[in-house]
Structure 1
């Protein structure tokens, strides 16, 4: 672990432990189906404690980002992984295209929507935007066995707006229209609904052409504001 990562993790541990709320932790774990233990920090408290821990530290390099992310992923309490998502998002202009491999490791480890979605819509999204050849990796992820990589491929353009590669978005949704998992079917609807803010006619036409092959959940979510 780099010196910066070690220092940050020590500070973060002390800051988070000082704000621990055992009662809230029980409810937070239950909300996540008891898959992860929590310290019981609200998002506001977690981010405030993180700001204290980061105060005075230099900007990280790519190796620091990887070290911090993996160290957070090694911790049991979910707040550490949520911090890592924020930290990577804040510094997304630093890593090169090879950092996508690190992101894939995070997406497929301790996987749940609360970390996968920010990694998809901010970290992966930022990497692909800055390094366009990575779109080929998104094509691969869109047909992966791992449902979280599929969800990431579908959602990575969520905030692109007019810059969305519509052909890719629609192709990913078509390829996974019959996916067995709720989280993929939900992602299809979410991605289409969001893109409808930019081009409602394109989404309406897509649903007209493909609704018979899509799950009711995906169609319902996609058409919610049309």
Structure 2
């Protein structure tokens, strides 16, 4: 399947007038087709079931390059699967996308794909660690979004707890970053953590909560 064929299939699900609303909502200048997310889920599920891994990665790469909003979401959804073997090419492609993030919706979909690849091979966290020092805000934010599985684990291993503490260190280093999206990501991570590891969430807020913006502090403590 070529990117043109895939785009044509996506476009068949466009809803009249929806593209204009999406453009106004996301505030990023790129093409929008007006296709709802459930339709994209159905389309990409079919592609994942029929395309071999190599073809899925190639199609994801080509769809991303179109810069069409729904195509970039579809590219990420093509790689959002727990079991992909081999998955090195998928992980490299997701990492290539990170410096190109420019909106939360596309970034979050790509990070959801990355979460599967990261939990499949936690040694990849060494790559993510470098993102925390990037001058690109969306890359710094991605380091928290892609590691959210470690905030949500009910029965973490010792290795998982070490990763959890490492990411909490990254979140602490972001506490004085005034960017709204960074603050939101910190609040999101601690909020999710509080439902599974109340002690660590409370300890984080006691040590760093005063340095967060008020809205992020409220978000982090929502369930405490």
TM-score in terms of structure 2 length: 0.85
Alpha-carbon distance in structure 1 between the residues aligned to 2:119 and 2:49: 30
User: Relative to 1, partners in 2 of residues 1:142 and 1:98: Cα closer, same or farther, differing over 3 Å?
Assistant: farther
The match for 1:190 among 188, 191, 199 is 188
The match for 2:142 among 129, 139, 152 is 152
Deviations 1:161-200 (A, max 9, x none): 1435221121011111111321111100001100111011
**What is the CA distance between 1:213 and its match in structure 2?**
2.3
Match runs of 1:125-144 below 5 Å? 125-144=115-134
Please report the RMSD computed on the Cα atoms of aligned residues, expressed in angstroms: 2.3
Q: Do the aligned partners of 2:57 and 2:89 also contact (CA within 8 Å) in 1?
A: no
Alpha-carbon distance in structure 2 between the residues aligned to 1:138 and 1:18: 37
TM-score in terms of structure 1 length: 0.84
Q: Do the aligned partners of 1:39 and 1:79 also contact (CA within 8 Å) in 2?
A: yes
Aligned residues: 216
Matched residue of 1:140: which SS?
Answer: helix
**What is the CA distance between 1:98 and its match in structure 2?**
5.9
Alpha-carbon distance in structure 2 between the residues aligned to 1:10 and 1:57: 18
Match runs of 1:64-213 below 5 Å? 64-90=55-81, 93-97=84-88, 99-120=90-111, 122-160=112-150, 161-162=153-154, 163=156, 164=160, 165-213=163-211
User: Relative to 1, partners in 2 of residues 1:34 and 1:178: Cα closer, same or farther, differing over 3 Å?
Assistant: same
Matched residue of 1:90: which SS?
Answer: coil
The worse-fitting range, judged by mean Cα deviation, of 32-41 and 183-192 is: 32-41
**What is the CA distance between 1:99 and its match in structure 2?**
4.4
The worse-fitting range, judged by mean Cα deviation, of 174-183 and 126-135 is: 126-135
The worse-fitting range, judged by mean Cα deviation, of 43-52 and 209-218 is: 43-52
Alpha-carbon distance in structure 1 between the residues aligned to 2:218 and 2:86: 37
**What is the CA distance between 1:29 and its match in structure 2?**
1.1
Q: Do the aligned partners of 1:19 and 1:41 also contact (CA within 8 Å) in 2?
A: yes
Deviations 1:31-81 (A, max 9, x none): 1014332111111223334456x39833222xx344222211122421111
Residue 60 (structure 1) aligned with residue 60 (structure 2): no
**What is the CA distance between 1:133 and its match in structure 2?**
2.0
Matched residue of 1:126: which SS?
Answer: helix
Q: Do the aligned partners of 1:39 and 1:78 also contact (CA within 8 Å) in 2?
A: yes
**What is the CA distance between 1:100 and its match in structure 2?**
3.5
Give structure 2 stretches of 5+ with no counterpart. Answer: none
Alpha-carbon distance in structure 2 between the residues aligned to 1:91 and 1:10: 27
